[in-house]
Amino acid sequence: MTEFYQELQEKCRALRLAETAKELPSMLREAESKGLTYSEFIDQVLGYELACREEKNRIKLMKWAEFPQHLTLEQFKLEEQSAIGEKQLNVLKELSWIEENFTLIMMGPPGVGKTHLSTGLGIQAVNQGYQVSFVSMDQLIYVLKTKEYISKSRTRYKRITGSDLVIIDDVMYMAYETQDAQLFFQFIYDMYDKTAFILTSNKGPGEWGKFLGDTTLTTAILDRLLHRSEIITFDENQDSIRMKYRRALFQETGVES
């Protein structure tokens, strides 16, 4: 490597073009061999640095999202459920509903694809540059209760409240104490009209009051969540996809005792 190349690399680093600095010698040799014009070379350099920064940001957002599994929309099998069709899925893929702070409520029994669809949409959003947070209802309540004195919860809370899309899994899976219900209401109140939501639940909104223990509070929560919303209902009679594709440790021949 010539001294001139090294000087150029140092200037790139000084301008915080770290990725370009690494690849600059090979990019210069390629430009010379292909006879690129000055404008073509500048476009190549800036395009490379921009692509690297976008990828770094995507990796960071993916880490912050804390998806339980990497379940993409490409892996989602439309033919195995009746909740949405191809046309509706394409509308969701466009992600315009995030900009409009919509709420998607996915209802249905366990194992029918609610978490897969919500995770797939979340990953699609991250790939488009949106900040996303995936959290179960229980995890959210814990974060809300401990954010004042546990640094990890405080960091998680800041990421959740700074997200463009918040996915809350297993909403109303169990009954909650009055204090927990009030914390959840305050969270929805603070985030209303600031972010989009995806909520998955095996209970319809009409049943949520039984789990929060306060009809008035439930009405206030639903009033905000349902203002701009789409309810996607998975068939209660649909077989669990998890059970359909389950893997067994022992073969059908059985194990001798």
**pLDDT on residue 130:** 96
What are the tokens at 44?
């190549």
Contacts 24+ apart (CB under 8 A), 21-25: 23/48, 25/1
**To the nearest 10°, the Cα dihedral for 62, 99, 161, 123?**
-20
Tell me: the pLDDT tens digits for 222-245? 777 777 888 888 876 544 444 344
**pLDDT on residue 208:** 74
Average predicted confidence (pLDDT) for the chain: 84
What are the tokens at 71?
């379940």
**pLDDT on residue 251:** 56
CB 198 within 8 A of CB 168: yes
- For the chain, how many residues are written? 257
Select the more confidently predicted residue: 166 or 42: 166
**Beta-bridge partners for 232:** 106
**pLDDT on residue 228:** 84
d(CA 78, CA 237): 16
- Domains of the chain listed by start with CATH number: 3-64 (no CATH), 73-244 (3.40.50.300)
**pLDDT on residue 243:** 39
d(CA 71, CA 75): 7
The single-letter DSSP state of residue 203 is S
**Cβ-proximal residues to 76 (8 Å cutoff; 6+ apart), any chain:** 89, 113, 116, 117, 120
**pLDDT on residue 250:** 47
Asked whether residue 159 carries a pLDDT value surpassing 90, the answer given is yes
**Cβ-proximal residues to 242 (8 Å cutoff; 6+ apart), any chain:** 110, 111
What's the mean pLDDT in 201-208? 77
d(CA 94, CA 74): 14
**Beta-bridge partners for 233:** 107
d(CA 226, CA 9): 54
Select the more confidently predicted residue: 209 or 95: 95
Select the more confidently predicted residue: 240 or 202: 202
SS3 201: strand
CB 30 within 8 A of CB 38: no
**To the nearest 10°, the Cα dihedral for 124, 111, 101, 151?**
-80
Asked whether residue 161 carries a pLDDT value surpassing 90, the answer given is yes
